[in-house]
Structure 1
Amino acid sequence: MNNESLKTLLDDHIGQIFATPDQIEVMASAVAKQISEKNKATNPLLIGVMKGAAQWTIAVSQRLSIPSDLDFVSVTSYTGEQQSEPVMLQEPTISITGRHIILLDEIIDTGNTLFFLKRWLLAQGAKSVEIAVMADKPMTRVTPVHIDYLGLTVPNVWLVGFGMDLNGAYRNLPAIAEYVKNPVSKP
């Protein structure tokens, strides 16, 4: 599916397309290959950050060539478009003690959520924590966080699709796209 085909499916609030479904598949495969090569002997526990990273986590996990376990956490750090301090809503259900963790998130901007989660997981007894992010906005970073596996780098725009949303809307778009708050009317 090309960018023009995608735009015909979407509304006026969708701007630039940063990744098509095919490009997302390539990114997920590349990240899965890197994780598999680096973690051959570890049986990592993949932990996705709900709700946004669910699609990214599944896409990567399905492409791994090594055994792994899968779990999710839920953290909130947004109210609408405003970011706030991370708060843990749901902890992992699988024991993390002594485990090699791959923490998956759909986007990193300030870094606060992933910094919070990495510290929390290590404090709970994880042996190591690596981070796999679908999209990175490095220009918005407030808290330094090392990204071990990265899909793509994006500019400082609001993104929707493939798990990313605006108050729950657009999360199920098959692509990664810019949300345009005040679109220019089309003729």
Structure 2
Amino acid sequence: MERPELAAALANAEIVVDRFAIEAGVIAMARAIHADYIGSVPVYLTVMHGGMPFASLLAMELGALGLDLEFDYLHATRYRGQTTGSELVWKHRPATSLQGRRVILADDIVDEGHTLAAVRAWCKEQGATEVRIAALSVKQHDRCVAGLCADYVAVDVPDRYVFGYGMDYHEQGRNLPDIYALKD
């Protein structure tokens, strides 16, 4: 199956959150996280691939505020290049021990939350004392997995197909500096 052209998607999309609003949201989020983690060094888990641009910016903002982090990453996906999710596939689990640690999961979006719920449960099974979710964006709807919500959110996005700033359109456009939503 041939993947759709990113240029065609962009022609049928609009910017719903620009990079300046994203950056302002991340700066505000960093202040809240810093206040909650003073005196500790949390394990900072980036959820790949989508969480990477956001997690990098947030980590730098936290460092500017003086909060040290222990970095690791995980790669768990339900999408594998598709636009709808299926079963969870682990591509990489963190090597850092989570036993007795506070964990921050940094991801690009909370949509329905199935992937993050599974990852959070896994972290707790590994002995994490606390697992909080820092999300670049949260989709505005009422279909979230029961009990899952982001603890820190930079921006809200509409209940449409969104891409850019880490989120992909058929594995394309993750490096777009704004968040787009398809019009149709």
TM-score, reference length from structure 1: 0.86
1:95 aligns with 2:93: no
Q: Which amino acid aligns with 2:9?
A: H
- Between the aligned partners of 1:121 and 1:107, the Cα distance in structure 2 is 18
Query: Displacement of 1:112 after TM fit?
Result: 0.4
1:55 aligns with 2:50: no
- Contact 1:140 1:156 (C-alpha < 8 Å) held by counterparts: no
TM-score, reference length from structure 2: 0.87
- Between the aligned partners of 2:21 and 2:7, the Cα distance in structure 1 is 21
2:155 to 142, 149, 152: 152
1:81 aligns with 2:99: no
Aligned length, in residue pairs? 172
Describe the superposition over 1:130-183 as per-residue Cα deviations: whole angstroms up to 9, x where unpaired: 0111111141524120321011122111111111002211111011111346xx
Q: Give the structure 1 partner of residue 179 of structure 2.
A: 176
- Say which is worse superposed, 150-159 or 140-149, in terms of deviation: 140-149
Gaps of 5+ in 1: 1-9, 182-187
Runs in 1 of length 4+ with deviation above 6 angstroms? Answer: none
- Between the aligned partners of 2:59 and 2:181, the Cα distance in structure 1 is 26
Describe the superposition over 1:89-109 as per-residue Cα deviations: whole angstroms up to 9, x where unpaired: 200122211110011110111
Q: Which structure is richer in relative contact order (CA contacts within 8 A, separation 6 or more)?
A: 2
Describe the superposition over 1:24-43 as per-residue Cα deviations: whole angstroms up to 9, x where unpaired: 11111111111101110221
Q: Which amino acid aligns with 2:26?
A: A
SS in 2 for 1:34: helix
Query: Displacement of 1:85 after TM fit?
Result: 2.4
Q: Which amino acid aligns with 1:71?
A: D
Query: Displacement of 1:87 after TM fit?
Result: 2.1
- Contact 1:85 1:112 (C-alpha < 8 Å) held by counterparts: no
- Between the aligned partners of 2:127 and 2:16, the Cα distance in structure 1 is 37
